[in-house]
Amino acid sequence: MNNGDNYKRRRKESFGQEDDYDDDSCSSDHEPKKKDLNGIITSLLLLEEQDKRDREEQNEASNEEKSILDSTHKRKTRTMLEFYSNFQDYYSEIDETDRIKRKKSRTMAASVAVASVHQTENQAPSNNNKQSGSGQQRRLWVKDRSNAWWDECNRPDYPEEEFKKAFRMSKSTFELICEELNSVIAKEDTTLRNAIPVKQRVAVCIWRLATGEPLRLVSKRFGLGISTCHKLVLEVCSAIRSVLMPKYLQWPDEDSLRKIKEEYEGISGIPNVVGSMYTTHIPIIAPKISVAAYFNKRHTERNQKTSYSITVQGVVDPRGVFTDVCIGWPGSMNDDQVLEKSALYQRANGGLLKGVWIVGSSGYPLMDWVLVPYTQQHLTWTQHAFNEKIGEIQRVAKEAFGRLKGRWCCLQKRTEVKLQDLPVVLGACCVLHNICEMRNEGLDPELKTELVDDEMVPEVALRSVSSMKARDAIAHNLLHHGLAGTAFL
């Protein structure tokens, strides 16, 4: 029995040792796996935390960059406005200084002339006694110049075709302008010289604007001094702007607006259109101050020649007559920026254009009163049809500007006129254009010019959700009422 008990006890002890060995081996296997799992989880948490920090840093950098861009844009806009204000003040001071100098010089010259005349009269008896039988010596006040060409043009029997070729208008229109300006530009004769007639004054200005020839050639044509011709051009342009512009270039009244709507709707099928808008650039010589503001980057890149310009924005009726103009903003500005600076924009914000449209190109934004074509890719048939019809209205303004530049060739080349005087000259050209258009003065086909003005899509092309819905409704009506045509197909 003792031997049997000892055997059983030894087997239990051996089994107990085996169980202890198995537990030790299992626990030793689980410990490295558990450590690896903890390491993986820790790594994932660290990666997630790092990714979160990266996103936060990226958002902070993006917000900071956005704020920097906004502040830079505001600073540039403020700087441009301050520059333009200082620019106007600077040239106003120069004009005032020049006026005072000219007044002093005229006063001094007049006093010297009077003194010389008295001296000559006092010496005349003695000179007659000493120089009996010989010619009396004369003092020349004005250089003798030939004005035979103008005398020929001013003859009643001068051919109408030749006159129109030289001055871009008929004799009757020319006479009308002279009569309108007579009270403003007429001068009286003095003891020293005869005043230049009103007709010759107007002719000097119009021929200069029509041909764009330099003042040296204008001087030879009309038998006048170069400085006199320059002065006459500015005086007559200023008179045209002050006297004729309120009469021949103004926003239409209610009756005229109703007729304009009917004519534009007859052209395109689009209702409530009161004008077609376009912006062109006029080349200038590089200004002495703020060159970058007038630098025309797009014209420079296209022509491979440095270009500077100022802008002319105009709204025209179906006949191509200007009803509103905005002149003189620097050529570096886009069409939408010029529009925001115009008086038309301020009047529209005041409610002048409520319920009506002014049609513009893709360079303008879509607004409550500005209607523009669709510019996105992959247009639908409805959108194609709308763009086709609105293009017919756009063509009215573009052709009007083409006639403006073709009739007044000074707008096609860099002029000798100072930058501060250019708005007056350009305004006079627009008024004279309106007079010619109203009186049906045809333009010689050889003078027609093709406009090349780059259109830049504005940064914010959509300014009004309601206008987008209105444009979609107009496009839908054009297509489904058979008014759109089939050219887009």
Phi, psi (rounded to 5 degrees) for 42 = -60, -40
Query: What long-range pairs does 31-39 form, CB within 8 A, spacing at least 24?
Result: none
DSSP character for 197? P
State yes or no: pLDDT of 372 exceeds 90.
Answer: yes
Q: How far is CA 29 from the centre of its chain?
A: 83
Which ranges of 240-341 would DSSP assign to H, the alpha helix? 245-248, 254-268, 291-294, 297-303, 335-341
196 with 270, same domain: the answer is no
267 with 241, same domain: the answer is no
326 with 255, same domain: the answer is yes
151 with 273, same domain: the answer is no
Q: What is the pLDDT of residue 133?
A: 44
Range of weakest confidence among 83-92, 98-107, 231-240, 365-374 = 83-92
Strongest mean pLDDT among 115-124, 182-191, 388-397, 460-469: 388-397
Residue 414 lies in a domain: yes
Give me the sign of the Cα torsion angle 296, 302, 307, 309. negative
State yes or no: pLDDT of 29 exceeds 60.
Answer: no
Whole-angstrom distance, CA of residue 282 vs CA of residue 260: 28
Mean pLDDT confidence for 473-477: 92
Mean pLDDT confidence for 4-25: 53
CB atoms near residue 226 (< 10 Å): 14
Picking from 191, 221, 247, the residue at the C-terminal end of a domain is 247
State yes or no: pLDDT of 171 exceeds 70.
Answer: yes
What are 124's two structure tokens? 């005349």
Q: What is the pLDDT of residue 13?
A: 55
Q: Are strands 322-330 and 308-316 parallel, antiparallel or unpaired?
A: antiparallel
261 with 231, same domain: the answer is no
CATH number at residue 239: 1.10.472
Q: What is the pLDDT of residue 181?
A: 96
Q: What is the pLDDT of residue 436?
A: 96
Q: What is the pLDDT of residue 144?
A: 61
Average pLDDT, the chain: 84
Residue 3 lies in a domain: no
Residue 253 lies in a domain: yes
Helix (H, G, I), strand (E, B) or coil at 273: strand
DSSP character for 148? H
Mean pLDDT confidence for 80-90: 71
Mean pLDDT confidence for 73-100: 74
Q: What is the pLDDT of residue 196?
A: 92
pLDDT digits (tens, 9 = 90+) for 218-242: 999 999 999 999 999 999 999 999 9
Q: What is the pLDDT of residue 242?
A: 94
Residue 83 lies in a domain: no
Residues spanned by the domain of 161: 147-247
335 with 237, same domain: the answer is no
What are 438's two structure tokens? 């109203």
User: pLDDT grade, residue 116 (50/70/90)?
Assistant: low
State yes or no: pLDDT of 120 exceeds 60.
Answer: no
State yes or no: pLDDT of 254 exceeds 60.
Answer: yes
Report the percent of the chain where pLDDT is more than 70.
83
Strongest mean pLDDT among 106-110, 120-124, 186-190: 186-190
Picking from 212, 231, 247, the residue at the C-terminal end of a domain is 247
Whole-angstrom distance, CA of residue 417 vs CA of residue 423: 10
State yes or no: pLDDT of 21 exceeds 90.
Answer: no
Mean pLDDT confidence for 260-281: 95
Residue 90 lies in a domain: no
Q: Are strands 322-330 and 357-359 parallel, antiparallel or unpaired?
A: unpaired
State yes or no: pLDDT of 246 exceeds 60.
Answer: yes
What are 371's two structure tokens? 């209607």
Q: What is the pLDDT of residue 10?
A: 60
Report the percent of the chain where pLDDT is more than 90.
51
User: pLDDT grade, residue 402 (50/70/90)?
Assistant: very high
Residue 127 lies in a domain: no
Residue 86 lies in a domain: no
Contacting residues for 361 by C-beta, under 8 A, at least 6 apart: 277, 278, 335, 372, 373, 394, 455
324 with 394, same domain: the answer is yes
State yes or no: pLDDT of 438 exceeds 70.
Answer: yes
State yes or no: pLDDT of 143 exceeds 80.
Answer: no
Whole-angstrom distance, CA of residue 138 vs CA of residue 143: 13
Residue type, 394: Q
Q: How far is CA 75 from the centre of its chain?
A: 22
243 with 264, same domain: the answer is no
Asked if 220 contacts 229 with a C-beta cutoff of 8 angstroms, the reply is no
Residue 419 lies in a domain: yes
Q: How many domains does the chain have?
A: 2
pLDDT digits (tens, 9 = 90+) for 306-339: 889 999 999 999 999 999 999 999 999 999 999 9
Picking from 247, 271, 294, the residue at the C-terminal end of a domain is 247
271 with 215, same domain: the answer is no
256 with 367, same domain: the answer is yes
Residue type, 442: G
State yes or no: pLDDT of 136 exceeds 70.
Answer: no
228 with 279, same domain: the answer is no
pLDDT digits (tens, 9 = 90+) for 476-489: 998 877 665 544 44
Range of weakest confidence among 83-97, 154-168, 342-356 = 83-97
State yes or no: pLDDT of 83 exceeds 60.
Answer: yes
State yes or no: pLDDT of 394 exceeds 90.
Answer: yes
451 with 391, same domain: the answer is yes
Whole-angstrom distance, CA of residue 381 vs CA of residue 366: 20
- DSSP notation for 214-261: -HHHHHHHHT--HHHHHHHHHHHHHHIIIIIHHHHS----HHHHHHHH
Name the strand (E) or helix (H) holding 359.
strand 357-359
Q: What is the pLDDT of residue 11?
A: 58
